[in-house]
Amino acid sequence: MTNKKDFGLPTIREILNNNNIKINKSLGQNFLFDINLTDKIVKSSLPIKTTVIEVGPGPGCLTRSILKQEPNIVFAIDKDVQSKKMLNDLKKIYNNKLEIIIDDALHYPIWNLGNAPRQIIANLPYNIGTKMLISWLKHINQFDMMTLMFQKEVADRIIAKPGSKQYGRLSILTNWLAKTNKVFDIPNTAFFPAPKVKSSVVQLIPYEKPLFDVNFESVEKITQMAFSQRRKMLKSSLKEINGEKILADLSISSKLRPENLSVLDFCRIAKMAFEN
């Protein structure tokens, strides 16, 4: 649990109680209460960059851990208007080091916030975490690192390798653009309210250049086509783009299923299908 001695601040529970904070289930809110865990998340993100962006700060447990590392500025963006009240004590202490933005991070251009180098450290809402990540991947060259907490099932899909049940669109889009690594799992008991599932912290470090030169939209299209019929052979799922010919030209068997192809295979197919 957080401790007043850490910052001379109210505990997270006191912040919720004193401000009569209501948990908004529609926003996928599950607040982290354990400062030891949030410190561990931030330490895995060192060295801290000039600009740190946190999405969904809630009562500010992770925010406290980030601020202890003394970045130039932390942008805490939250759709919940209650965030200003919850982060008010931190704002009084850190003043212009903490900028609170009440907005929808799913549609907000966070890649333009502050000065580079910038990183994201965030406990993402379960219900839109995947959508957020895909949106940020389109601007990944604006970030030096992302340390993100997801539902464990989503984290496993991000780091999945070809041939595994978890391997799919998210694995390909992410690993084409960044080196991915699961940092550690977090039990549901660390949150309030406690979700029914475990969480995992995943770290993405963008490559200087993508593994293959192809447009993001092309990779999105080809993976959507292939994995929307994941149990079918590629000759069936890619039929509408004359997939058998493309696969033959690339020396890839049309009898394979999508989970059998590598990230580079999908990039090569996407390039030939949509950009030649």
- CA dist 52 and 114 (Å) reads 8
Q: Is the pLDDT of residue 11 over 80?
A: no
Q: Is the pLDDT of residue 275 over 80?
A: yes
| pLDDT of the residue at 238 | 95
- Model confidence band, residue 21 (pLDDT cutoffs 50, 70, 90): low
| pLDDT of the residue at 13 | 67
Q: Is 81 exposed, middle or buried (0-12, 13-18, 19+ CB in 10 A)?
A: exposed
| pLDDT of the residue at 30 | 72
Mean pLDDT of 37-41: 95
| pLDDT of the residue at 129 | 92
Poorest-pLDDT segment among 29-43, 104-118, 143-157, 228-242: 29-43
| pLDDT of the residue at 1 | 38
pLDDT tens digits for range 86-133: 898 899 889 999 999 999 999 999 999 999 999 999 999 888 999 999
| pLDDT of the residue at 189 | 87
Q: Angle at CA 66, nearest 5°, toward 60 and 70?
A: 130
Task: Please report, to the nearest 10 degrees, the dihedral formed by the alpha carbons of residues 142, 145, 151, 154 taken in order.
Answer: 70
Residue 218 belongs to what H/E stretch? helix 216-227
**pTM above threshold 0.85:** yes
| pLDDT of the residue at 4 | 38
Structural domains of the chain, ranges and CATH numbers in brackets: 4-206 (3.40.50.150), 216-274 (1.10.8.100)
- Model confidence band, residue 3 (pLDDT cutoffs 50, 70, 90): very low
pLDDT tens digits for range 178-208: 999 999 999 988 887 777 889 999 999 999 9
Average pLDDT over the chain, rounded to whole? 90
pLDDT tens digits for range 43-68: 999 999 999 999 999 888 899 999 99
- CA dist 63 and 266 (Å) reads 38
| pLDDT of the residue at 126 | 84
Query: What are 185-193's contacts with CB under 8 Å, separation 24+?
Result: 185/152, 186/37, 186/149, 190/32, 190/33, 190/34, 190/37, 191/30, 191/31, 191/32, 191/33, 192/23, 192/30, 192/31, 192/33, 193/23, 193/30
Q: What percent of the chain has pLDDT over 70?
A: 89
- Model confidence band, residue 20 (pLDDT cutoffs 50, 70, 90): low
pLDDT tens digits for range 249-267: 999 999 999 999 999 999 9
Q: Residues of 230-259 as b/e, b for ≥16 C-beta within 10 angstroms?
A: eeebbeebbeebebeebbeeeebebeebbb
- Model confidence band, residue 5 (pLDDT cutoffs 50, 70, 90): very low
Task: State CA 276 to chain mean position distance.
Answer: 32
Mean pLDDT of 1-11: 50
